[in-house]
Amino acid sequence: MSAEIDPCSPIGPEQIGEWFEYTDVLIVGYGGAGACAALEAHACGAKVTVLEVSSGSGSTTSLSGGQIYLGGGTPIQTACGFTDTPRDMEAYVRMASGSSGDDEKIRLYCGDSLEHYAWLVNQGVEFNPEYYGGKHTNTPEYQSLAWSGNEKGYRERLVARPAPRAHKPRAFWEDGGATLMATLRKAVEATSITVHHETRALTLVKEGERVIGVLCRHDGQLRAWRARCGVVLCCGGFIMNKDMVRKYAPRLADATPIGNPADTGSGILMGIGAGGAVVNMNEGFISVIWYPSGEFCKGVFVNQQGNRFVNEDCYHSRGAHHCLNQPERKAYLVVDSAIYTEPPMYAAAKVIEVGETFAELERDAGFAEGTLSATMETYNRFAAVGEDPLFHKSPEFLRPLDQPPYALLDFSIDSGVYYPAFTLGGLDTSVDGQVLSASGKAIPGLYAAGRTSAGIPRNAEGYASGLSIGDATYFGRRAGRAAAR
Amino acid sequence: MSAEIDPCSPIGPEQIGEWFEYTDVLIVGYGGAGACAALEAHACGAKVTVLEVSSGSGSTTSLSGGQIYLGGGTPIQTACGFTDTPRDMEAYVRMASGSSGDDEKIRLYCGDSLEHYAWLVNQGVEFNPEYYGGKHTNTPEYQSLAWSGNEKGYRERLVARPAPRAHKPRAFWEDGGATLMATLRKAVEATSITVHHETRALTLVKEGERVIGVLCRHDGQLRAWRARCGVVLCCGGFIMNKDMVRKYAPRLADATPIGNPADTGSGILMGIGAGGAVVNMNEGFISVIWYPSGEFCKGVFVNQQGNRFVNEDCYHSRGAHHCLNQPERKAYLVVDSAIYTEPPMYAAAKVIEVGETFAELERDAGFAEGTLSATMETYNRFAAVGEDPLFHKSPEFLRPLDQPPYALLDFSIDSGVYYPAFTLGGLDTSVDGQVLSASGKAIPGLYAAGRTSAGIPRNAEGYASGLSIGDATYFGRRAGRAAAR
């Protein structure tokens, strides 16, 4: 066997000397998707083995803030005084997924959300019935429930009654992801599921059309695992693979990614090699190291032409998407001294111009005469009466910017505030995680979940925190069950 | 053999009863790419067979206006008094291709442009050394040379000296494409190349890793062609395949396509089935049934917020791209009575509001107070001195709109002006047309060119007329030569 193994070229069983281990369901990747797939396959009576490239479990889920997008009237929503229905959740998620959304996955994900909540609780995940109503990327203490997307947006309100749906496992601040994974790992450890760490999947083993195993590097050796029922790829996306990002998602290539180092696209490549189609490969989630939260979303985003382009109180990846869509990818936030007094995360906000009047700011920053100043005149005139007819920013964040000096903060592509965190394209899968060919046929024995597949979240514009972990855990479960059948 | 043949599942030679015909180079699709691939493979001494699904040749190239993007100082450019260099052409094409451009393909395409021009002439293609300087989608009479992209754009001028590069074969108005294909067909007919019409390629035949033939439906029978050297897929893109557009390029899914009916993605699917990777699948060329040409680009595009977003004198697919990127995909062209007097193509322009002043237009059309009117005030003030500091429209199209009544013409997604014409994603290929796997390895015996592959044109924003035929004919030739080796 050559040392150069191509993930896109599955090998035949005749190329395997001897199988290292036999199992029923073989899961590659021990993050949120992999752990849930393993637990469900085991619950179906299958012998389950998990292979993980890192020395610890958790992967991207561990690194995240841990919010899970759940709704339809969960006990936490109810305890915090919110009403939600599966229908409202579905209408919202459908809108957020945009034109590339998978209707059937959305319907199941939202329809089963209460069941999924109960299942997570059953695995030991604790949610704290406390609500945080502020604007942050996560709840700042132990609260579980928060707003995490654009549910209160103007267009969104027209299709669905808003409700907070981010459910963070009981944990301090950003520790939700690590806590979630620690809990799932504990649940896995209470079963007979076998986990091998430091085991790198190299390529799939195929017998005719059927995927029957995985060839790995393990303990310095090439070793092959035989999966009698199915292989489930839960290896994350490809945000850390520079070549793949340049090839498939070039828009994300000019900013430094902050993903899990194991997100190298290996699972996607193995799936392609076995005949799987890939969809939505150009999209990714873009994080913003500091985003107008709290007082700051009372500021005004403008492009180089001095025009607004988005409601500044939107979810941060929507803001990022629109900032990066402006001419020459240049964007700025206009603030006044009243809102520039809030301390957090200043360091990342580069002030590029200060002026006593908008006309001065406009001139000194090189905007065309009468552009930025006209934009601010209109904004202030409407804000004074609590209106934003252009982008429908929520009245709670509307006030005229009238306390000089005014400042212009940089949100351009090269300002260093943008960080792609994970990709949103991957293997095309059925609602049961079966990897599909480009003609829509299931590849026998092969499943995928989490960011190795294209699931519920499809674009930065509509992203809401919790959609990726929600998708990974829910469809991970479905894939695990289907593989065990 | 089942009647249900899956293009994504290549078959083995053992599944072929008997080969219907043997050839060296087998070309699937008889458009610009296929014809050029055939001619070059034949010139290399190969026995060449072309399979075409339609009853006539030409495909998308025939339906087009026939412009070919050539430059670097062609005899036609020189005869018309223009200076151009390969370096300028390359710098421009690189910019037009955007972040997803293939550097090596661009370098070869531009560096070889004079040679490609000479080759086309050698096949009998006639160019007429007359220049048309107006703004149209094609030259209105027999002129060959015209501007066809954004070469004179503000940002483009910073990287490359502008030159007109669209070369239309001598033909009246939009007959350039049919004329080009008639000429190439004549060249093919002067050789021993075999052409089979009404022959539908169904799937590839593979022996181990190597593509060795194609299974077709021909004269009501399943028949297989054996290619001793290589198969070249020149089957166009997938703009007429609704499911593929919805899955891979959902942004194009809400407008009615006007492509060649044979652009069903069949070549791309067969290539995927043989292990080929696909890239850039979300992009397509969007045509606009009428676009501000001539007097009309003196108008002003605004979005629902009353803001401008593009220089109105840009190439039509760039305009379309930006219109469709505006909030809720709504856009309008503001004109005054001085420019609304030009007759052509009025029917398609829907006037949705008329007003004696911009304030009246603004109010009656439902723009927020002080938005559209401020935009027009700024535009007119700068236009009066021949400037457009916001989007750098060319001075020749800058004049204040000051002849009431003013009208608002609809350019929103549902206005019926947008027509996706062809897709710009496809099989990943080497510069010699070898189809590459997702790990970058050439699939032995398999080549692709034209819109079955991802080539020079990569997006609507940077498209220039002639780039697709230029790419298809040039890389079709390279693929034909490589397959014949």
Q: Where are the domains of chain A?
A: 1-285+421-485, 290-416
Looking only at the bridges linking them, the beta strands covering B131-132 and B48-51 are unpaired
Nearest Cα residue to B380 out of B292, B296, B294, B300:
B300
Q: Write down the pLDDT at residue B291.
A: 66
Q: Write down the pLDDT at residue B296.
A: 79
What fold, for A290-416? Flavocytochrome C3; Chain A, domain 1 (3.90.700)
Cis peptide before B10 (omega within 30 of 0): no
Q: Which residues of B408-423 are buried (b: 16+ CB within 10 A; e: fewer)?
A: bbbbbbebebbbbbbb
Residues 281-320 of A with CB under 8 A from B: 281-282, 305, 307-309
Residues 422-441 of B with CB under 8 A from A: 428, 437-439, 441
Share of chain B above pLDDT 70, in %: 96
Nearest Cα residue to A468 out of A153, A124, A67, A138:
A67
Q: For residues B218 and B199, is the Cβ–Cβ distance under 8 A? A: yes
Residues of B in contact with A278 (CB under 8 A): 278
Average pLDDT, chain B: 94
Q: Write down the pLDDT at residue B294.
A: 67
Contacts of A220 (CB under 8 A, 6+ apart): none
pLDDT at A7 over 60: yes
- A239-243, A368-372, B296-300: the lowest-pLDDT one: B296-300
Q: Write down the pLDDT at residue B334.
A: 96
Q: Please compute the mean of the pLDDT values over residues B393-401 and round it to a whole number.
A: 94
Q: Please compute the mean of the pLDDT values over residues A109-125 and round it to a whole number.
A: 98
Contacts of B112 (CB under 8 A, 6+ apart): B474
> Rounded CA gap, B301 and B325, in Å?
13
pLDDT, one tens digit per residue, over B183-207 is: 999 999 999 999 999 999 999 999 9
* Partners of A320 in the β-ladder: none
pLDDT at B377 over 60: yes
pLDDT, one tens digit per residue, over B404-430 is: 999 999 999 998 889 999 999 999 999
Q: How far is B272 from chain A (nearest CA, A)?
A: 7
Q: How far is A181 from chain B (nearest CA, A)?
A: 32
Residues of A in contact with B254 (CB under 8 A): 99
Picking from B253, B278, B368, the nearest residue to A99 by CB comes out as B253
pLDDT at A345 over 90: no
Nearest Cα residue to A465 out of A182, A70, A18, A134:
A70
pLDDT at B345 over 70: no
Residues of B in contact with A378 (CB under 8 A): 368-371, 374
Which two three-digit tokens encode residue A28? Answer: 């590659």
> Rounded CA gap, A313 and A296, in Å?
9
| Shortest CA distance from A327: residue in chain B | B309
Q: Is A289 or B158 the better-scoring residue by pLDDT?
A: B158
First-last CA distance in chain A: 33
Q: For residues B74 and B194, is the Cβ–Cβ distance under 8 A? A: no
pTM beyond 0.90: the answer is yes
pLDDT, one tens digit per residue, over B141-150 is: 999 999 999 9
Q: Write down the pLDDT at residue B121.
A: 98
Q: For residues B215 and B16, is the Cβ–Cβ distance under 8 A? A: yes
Which two three-digit tokens encode residue B399? Answer: 């004049």
Q: Is the ipTM of this complex over 0.90?
A: yes
Residue A32: band (very low, low, confident or very high) from pLDDT cuts 50, 70, 90: very high
Q: Which site among A14, A95, A248, A314 would you substitute to test the B interface, given the most B Cβ atoms closer than 10 Å to its Cβ? A: A248
> Rounded CA gap, A316 and A462, in Å?
10
Q: What CATH class is the domain A1-285+421-485?
A: alpha beta
Task: Write down the H helix ranges in B80-175.
Answer: 86-97, 103-111, 113-122, 154-159
CB contact (8 A) between residue B305 and residue A308: yes
Residue A2: band (very low, low, confident or very high) from pLDDT cuts 50, 70, 90: very low
> Rounded CA gap, A108 and B320, in Å?
36
Q: Which site among A307, A329, A443 would you substitute to test the B interface, given the most B Cβ atoms closer than 10 Å to its Cβ? A: A307
Residue B2: band (very low, low, confident or very high) from pLDDT cuts 50, 70, 90: very low
Q: Write down the pLDDT at residue B462.
A: 94
Q: Is A380 an 8 Å CB contact of chain B?
A: no
Q: Is B253 an 8 Å CB contact of chain A?
A: yes
Q: Write down the pLDDT at residue A235.
A: 97
> Rounded CA gap, A360 and A204, in Å?
63
Q: Write down the pLDDT at residue B342.
A: 55
Q: How far is A339 from chain B (nearest CA, A)?
A: 25
Q: Which site among B307, B387, B413 would you substitute to test the A interface, given the most A Cβ atoms closer than 10 Å to its Cβ? A: B307
pLDDT at A332 over 60: yes
Cis peptide before B250 (omega within 30 of 0): no
What fold, for B1-288+420-485? FAD/NAD(P)-binding domain (3.50.50)
Q: Is B261 or B44 the better-scoring residue by pLDDT?
A: B44
Give me the residue label for tokens 């429209």. Answer: B393
Q: Is B9 an 8 Å CB contact of chain A?
A: yes
Q: Write down the pLDDT at residue B340.
A: 83
Residues of A in contact with B381 (CB under 8 A): 370
Looking only at the bridges linking them, the beta strands covering A426-427 and A434-436 are unpaired
Which two three-digit tokens encode residue A72? Answer: 């339809």
CB contact (8 A) between residue A7 and residue B439: yes
Share of chain A above pLDDT 70, in %: 96
pLDDT, one tens digit per residue, over B453-482 is: 999 999 999 999 999 999 999 999 999 999
pLDDT, one tens digit per residue, over A71-101 is: 999 999 999 999 999 999 999 999 999 989 9
